[in-house]
Amino acid sequence: MKSIIFATLTSLALAARPFLNEADTGIDEALADVPQGTLPPLEDIVGLPDFEWAARHYMNTSAYTYYRNGAAGEWAYRNNLEAFQRYTAKPRVLRDNSKIESTFTTSILGHNFSAPFYISPCARGALANERAELGLVEGAYQGDILYIPSDFSSLPLKELAAARPSNGSQVMWQQVYLDASNDTATKAHFKEIEQSGARAIVFTVDSAGPGVRHRAQRYAAGSADADYSAFTWQYYQKLQNFTTLPVVIKGIQTVEDAKMAVKYKAPAIVLSNHGGRNFDSSPSGFEVALEIHQEAPEIFKQIEVYADGGVRYGSDVLKMLALGVRAVGLGRPFMYANAYSTEGVAKAVELLKAEIASDAAHLGLSSLKDIGPQYFKWTPNNWYS
């Protein structure tokens, strides 16, 4: 008897806290008629998670798996998504929010954009749409946000550069993977990036070895991942001398390394665990931001700090900004939106802007610039326990 009760309680507890890769907001029922292999009409997409639903129905399993997969049991990937929900807002009321939408402009390393979020570098844009990264370049331009193409983009750097308006009015950066044993190749690559017109180089350092990717392996989705490498902080210092462009470090996962980045004069860092794709047990960018907020908040003033991982809603963006993060990156949502090419990417930008405005108003902000840690409780809630 006891064990039956126990088993029932256990299953109830489990049932009370399922992991929802796509939270249930009724899309399965609403789009039940959309056949596998086709995209639902763009007007039926009401939030960023819907783009994943659309891409999952449209792309073949191996292509979808390449975007979706995380490392090993995908606990770090799931944690990226869930970490935001552990912290509840402290909304203030009776505040004038009538101008909230006009306060989004954000300067990122001196370049002005219309919002404090950007498109994170993700490989293989052609898996979702034959126009590949062109939709990301154009969608970012329409939405007036930053796009950082991946070193493993489907299209060559030259074609990405050519897709920007010729008057130079679109600022893009460029992500790189490097080979520590070949400075000649690195210098040539940096020269090529400078000539392409990119305004900063983003050096990814969270790919310290091959990723363990069970889901990708199962569906032969391949994985453009790293080999073991000899990178050090001294190497980063040397690297900065190879180019006149700022070299941003992507993949900082501790307050200790954020301090190292300050010491080694990085202009900016990205708090990131690569979307949970490389190391199960790695913290989400948001958790690292919280750690810096608690242990060395001055870092947010000493250098520019960006962060990514699991951002899907306006409230996620606001939680990052509240801690001192200057700009927030999104990877998978834009890759899925790119199934619709430019229109989809531009719509994703608009949806997220609208959510940020609504959530900021409900938080009690008159200006997005007023956001700070006082707008959230930084002790975990018990929503799921």
Ligand X SMILES: *[C@@H]1O[C@H](CO)[C@@H](O)[C@H](O)[C@H]1NC(C)=O
Ligand Y SMILES: Cc1cc2nc3c(=O)[nH]c(=O)nc-3n(C[C@H](O)[C@H](O)[C@H](O)COP(=O)(O)O)c2cc1C
Residues that bind ligand X (CB under 6 A): 60, 62-63, 105, 107, 112, 127, 165, 167, 169, 182, 184-185, 188, 237-238, 241
Q: 36 vs 184, which CB is nearer to ligand X?
A: 184
Cβ atoms 134, 292 nearer than 8 A:
no
Q: What values do phi and psi take at 252, rounded to 5?
A: -75, 135
Residues 134-173 that bind ligand Y (CB under 6 A): 150-152
Using CB under 6 A, count the residues that bind ligand Y.
26
Among residues 158, 162, 189, 164, which one has the least CA distance to residue 175?
189
Q: 335 vs 352, which CB is nearer to ligand Y?
A: 335
Taking the C-alpha atoms of residue 113 and residue 134, their distance in angstroms, rounded to an integer, is 19
Q: Is 329 helix (H, G, I), strand (E, B) or coil?
A: strand
Q: 127 vs 292, which CB is nearer to ligand Y?
A: 127
CA distances from 18 to 12, 54, 65, 68, 310 (A): 10, 22, 21, 18, 17
Residues 101-120 that bind ligand Y (CB under 6 A): 120
Q: Which stretch binds ligand Y (CB under 6 A): 137-145, 239-247, 295-303, 327-335?
A: 327-335
Residues identified as active-site:
274
Q: Where are the alpha helices (DSSP H) in 93-244?
A: 134-143, 157-162, 183-196, 214-218, 233-240
Q: Among 175, 196, 338, 341, which residue sits at the site for ligand Y (rule: CB under 6 A)? A: 175
Q: What angle do CA 209, 212, 213 make, to 5 degrees?
A: 135
Give, as one character, the DSSP assignment of residue 72.
T
Among ligand Y, ligand X, none, residue 278 binds (CB under 5-8 Å by kind): none
Does position 274 interact with ligand Y (CB under 6 A)? The reply is: yes
Does position 67 interact with ligand Y (CB under 6 A)? The reply is: yes
How near is the Cβ of 62 to ligand X at its closest, in Å?
A: 5
Cβ atoms 152, 207 nearer than 8 A:
no
* Residue 294 among known ligand-binding residues: no
Cβ atoms 248, 200 nearer than 8 A:
yes
Mark the binding-site residues for glyoxylate, compressed into ranges: 66, 177, 213, 274, 277
| Residues in touch with ligand Y (CB under 6 A) | 66-67, 80, 120-123, 150-152, 175, 204, 250, 272, 274-275, 277, 308-311, 329-332, 335
Mark the binding-site residues, compressed into ranges: 66, 121-123, 150, 175, 177, 204, 213, 250, 272, 274, 277, 308-312, 331-332
